[in-house]
Amino acid sequence: MDDQRFGTVIRATRVRRRMTQRELARSAGVSDGSVSRLERGHVVSMSMRTVRAIADVVGVRVELLPRSRAADLDRVASAAHASLAEAVVEWLARFSGWAVRPEIGFSNYGDRGVIDLVCWHAGRRALLVIELKTELVDINELLGTVNRYVRNAVRAVEPLGWNPLTVSTCS
């Protein structure tokens, strides 16, 4: 929910409870101006403590939803995914000449994502893009994701000084 919508929800619940902004402010222990700013969607300038105090009085629970342009945060926080990544990196270490980098992010012209593992063989100038899944839910989504990663892989590894002749995938 964006800040503007959140402010609208706070206002609507306050009005439904037949409270004025001043009454809400007093009950929450904040200034009248804080209630007004929150209801107008100016959440960015407010402390979480103030936002939660106001919301609590009108019976609204505030939850944080972290988002990232470069990372699938659920996956980053997933222990199973992390274990799988570690096992694959350990397996790849057995092969001579390969360098492995985890979680390479990219953002190119609206295409965004994080490649689970990028592997580089300098002698062959070969790039291997690996997408890890602990659970396969939708094969079409996986194929689309891998396709997007391949399209963006060369630019994603430029900062590493890698200039591949070939790009391969493994899922």
Same-domain status, 84 and 121: yes
**pTM given for the model:** 0.54
C-alpha separations of 22 from 28, 29, 33 in Å: 10, 10, 9
User: So what's the pLDDT on residue 67?
Assistant: 66
Q: Are residues 156 and 102 in the same domain?
A: yes
Q: Is residue 64 domain-resident?
A: no
Q: What is the predicted pLDDT for the residue at 110?
A: 79
Residue 62 has pLDDT above 80, yes or no: yes
Spell out a b/e string for 68-89, using b for 16 or more CB atoms within 10 Å of the CB, else e. eeebeeebeeeeebeeebeebe
pLDDT at 134 (0 to 100): 80
8 A C-beta contact, residue 46 and residue 7: no
For residue range 125-146, list pLDDT tens digits in order. 999 999 988 877 788 888 988 9
Instruction: State the total domains in the chain.
Output: 2
The answer to whether residue 118 sits within a structural domain is: yes
- pLDDT tens digit string along 13-23? 999 999 999 99
Q: Which of 41-50, 53-62, 76-85 has the lowest mean pLDDT?
A: 76-85
Mean pLDDT of the chain: 88
Give 111's pLDDT tier (boundaries 50, 70, 90).
Answer: confident
Residue 36 covered by a domain: yes
Does residue 105 belong to any structural domain of this protein? yes
The mean pLDDT of 84-105, rounded to a whole number, is 89
Task: Give the structural domain span for 23.
Answer: 3-57
> For the domain that residue 43 is a member of, what is the CATH number?
1.10.260.40
Whether residue 115 sits in one domain with residue 34? no
Sign of CA dihedral 151, 67, 101, 128: negative
The answer to whether residue 59 scores a pLDDT higher than 70 is yes
Please state, in angstroms and rounded to a whole number, the distance separating the CA atoms of residues 65 and 35. 22
- The model's confidence at residue 75, banded by pLDDT at 50, 70 and 90, is low
